[in-house]
Structure 1
Amino acid sequence: MNVDLYNIEDLLSIAYMEFLINKNSKSLKQITDFIKVVVESYSEDVDLQYAEFFARLIANVQSRRGNARYHLGHDTFDEFIPTGKFFESTSFGLINLNYDLLIEKSLQSVLRNISSYHIHSKLESPYIEYFTPKKKIEFPGIPFAKLHGSVEKEIIPPTWNKSINKEIHEDWELATNLLTNATHIIFLGYSLPHTDNYIRFLFSSSLNSNKRLKRISAITLDSGGQTMQRYKAMFALDFHFHNSNLDQFFQFVSGLSSEIDFDYFDEEFTDYIAQQ
């Protein structure tokens, strides 16, 4: 058969089918273990600069310097206090289709840095609720759905049967909730591969009940035009595609001095790219 043996999703799907039919999980375990080793090995030396900036963006919190300080030898740790949202009229939710822990580690890193005074003073950080991933909309923290599992727990094959791990049901439920209530959806660095075809039906099901959605955007490199065509085949209206790398997105957002007006995000981002 004409199967791409270098495609992780194809390998996972074949191994999972073997597991369902023959109850033999050896291949599935070998492949998932291999993926974990590769992801963890390549994540060790990754520069977290942009990931940490993204963590600050989705945490959406403003701070001010407090009056207290903690002295430890030659080091001084200033108190910082949250003063509310950075983007007052915006709430962020995240649907992650990666296996790695870069965003989770970045959230933890930023939390540690901004909470240095509280950590050394042995006080509970008031920033915990801003930088903690959550699985329920009503809980404090960042709504964070991870649809493919994670290297820290279990990697989920790209199949319709997500009951292989009961924990993953919460992630899919949260993703559905986020998509159903979103006003703007932005894809970052996602090529919409054909092996993720079930994502199309997740969106179809969720957006069918969405009465608030204004537009959908995608920001990803696309040298041959195939990625854009897959997106345009999936979304009929109010869709905007940006053939751009994520560096430009982060530079654009980091340069903002006021709240993002997502009703004009695509026009402003297009102008920004043209000026570079």
Structure 2
Amino acid sequence: MTENVIILGAGFSYDAGIPLLGGFIERMWECATRKTIEGKPIRPEILKTLNEALEIRRELDNYHGRVVFDDRNIEDILSMLAFNILGGGKADSNKFKIFTKAISETIELACNVKHTGYRSDGRYTAIKEGDKVYREFWQGIFKWYKKTGSIPTIISFNYDLVLERSLMQILISDENFNPYENPLPFNGVTLDYCYKHFPSKSYLVEYANYNSPRQSQSTGTIISQPAGLDIEKFCKINILKLHGSLNFPTDSKKTASLVTPIDQPYILPPVSNKHSNGAGSQSWKSALNCLREAKNVTFVGYSLPKTDMYMQFFLKAALGPNQDLNKINIFDPVLSKDNQVSLDMKNRFQSCFSEQIRPRLNFNPGQSEYGSKNEQGTTKKFVDILNHTPELILF
């Protein structure tokens, strides 16, 4: 039974350098125009993809004479391109593929959380690139597992690989866990996307000695995938990426990696997609069932935009039958402001639920001694609470 569900929106990945939906096209344009990122030149083939995507976006600008849509929001553009496929042909399908590839390239250029995965030769390197808040997220998750024996189900609307890479950073390291002062509460992990073309992956987590500049030798953790793993006793992590992921293949013929994007990833527009091959239906079904069982649901960095009607009805269908629903926490910096934007967001969430449920909506879930008031609603505030006072948000 799933007692806790954490739902991650674009705001969760903001500290990883990934732009929010409204600023994504600007970042794509900036990369294509400057031809560099952090002083490093962008490869010609990537620039070609970015410029082709921007040209497709300019073509859609002609629609403004007759209809209203946000051509600076990637989800609006993806949705428009997806429906064009229904009435078009190969050219429209190619435009959709170009744009999804450009999204993948832009995310990778912007993302500061890096990891190469583990090496088959048995040599491991501790990697700590990117904001530490994501490693601290997993530390908080593992603390909760040690206390309760359960892991919250994670539902993500993001395409990026921030969760996967920070998980590898935490498990392949010389400083997070050791068998003496801070042992892990498990001897292995299994990560399951519930996605048709990406089988679950299991890793044995072991302690090993590292050479460290701080001392001649230090103890840390490494991972491996030996044959005959008894995964029944492993810590199971479900990450349900409902809109697809940069590492999701579109069929089972392609080899998939946790931390490496593929050439043409499975990315699903945020509409009722009729040209989908149905590969993501298992993820949606699993998310629906988890939400119907959850006692506490926590949103991080998701504003429930009024244009995302599909998700509003999904939440209603998922939480409507849930008679055990206890609390809904919403983390977003906007909610700490005293303005119309904050009020509108609160109204959107409240409009999804009946009057007897609305008092259980917690728009200010940061009442703890950790973090500053300026961090109210941020990913950092959420992670601070997760590590120090998780009872405020988890059941």
- Shorter chain as denominator, the TM-score bin is 0.7 to 0.9
What secondary structure sits across from 2:72 in the alignment?
coil
Stretches of structure 2 lacking an aligned partner (at least 5 in a row): 1-66, 114-128, 179-185, 201-230, 249-265, 365-375
Flag as ranges the 4+ runs of structure 1 deviating above 4 A. Answer: 114-118, 136-140
1:6 counterpart residue number = 72
Name the CA shift for 1:117/1:190 in 2 (closer, same or farther; >3 Å). closer
Output the amino acid matched with 1:110. Answer: I
| Structure 1 position 228 matched with structure 2 position 287 | no
Shifted more, 95-104 versus 223-232: the winner is: 223-232
Shift of 1:167: 2.6
Output the amino acid matched with 2:284. Answer: W
Report matched runs for 1:235-254 at 5 Å.
235-236=353-354, 237=357, 238-242=360-364, 244-254=377-387
Report matched runs for 1:69-218 at 5 Å.
85-88=145-148, 90-113=150-173, 127-129=187-189, 132-135=191-194, 141-153=236-248, 154-161=266-273, 164-218=276-330
Output the amino acid matched with 1:146. Answer: K
8 A contact 1:93–1:144 mirrored in 2: yes
- How many corresponding residue pairs? 231
Structure 2 residue corresponding to 1:36, chosen from 104, 108, 115 = 104
Name the CA shift for 1:88/1:143 in 2 (closer, same or farther; >3 Å). same
Shift of 1:19: 0.9
8 A contact 2:155–2:287 mirrored in 1: yes
Output the amino acid matched with 1:56. Answer: Q
Shift of 1:134: 4.4
Q: When you count helix as a share of all residues, which structure comes out higher? A: 1
Output the amino acid matched with 2:347. Answer: Q
CA-atom RMSD in angstroms: 3.0
What secondary structure sits across from 2:324 in the alignment?
coil
Shift of 1:90: 5.0
Stretches of structure 1 lacking an aligned partner (at least 5 in a row): 62-84, 119-125, 266-276
What secondary structure sits across from 1:143 in the alignment?
strand
Output the amino acid matched with 2:382. Answer: F
Output the amino acid matched with 2:85. Answer: F
Post-superposition Cα deviations, 1:92-134, rounded to whole Å, max 9, x if no partner, equal 111001110100111122122279999xxxxxxx6432x6244
Which protein, 1 or 2, shows the higher relative CO under an 8 Å CA cutoff with sep ≥ 6?
2
Name the CA shift for 1:183/1:163 in 2 (closer, same or farther; >3 Å). farther
Post-superposition Cα deviations, 1:42-63, rounded to whole Å, max 9, x if no partner, equal 11357241111112333456xx
Question: Separation in 2 of the partners of 1:32 and 1:202?
Answer: 24
8 A contact 1:162–1:168 mirrored in 2: no
2:136 counterpart residue number = 53
Question: Separation in 1 of the partners of 2:175 and 2:386?
Answer: 24
Name the CA shift for 1:31/1:186 in 2 (closer, same or farther; >3 Å). same
- Percent of aligned pairs with the same residue? 26
What secondary structure sits across from 2:98 in the alignment?
helix
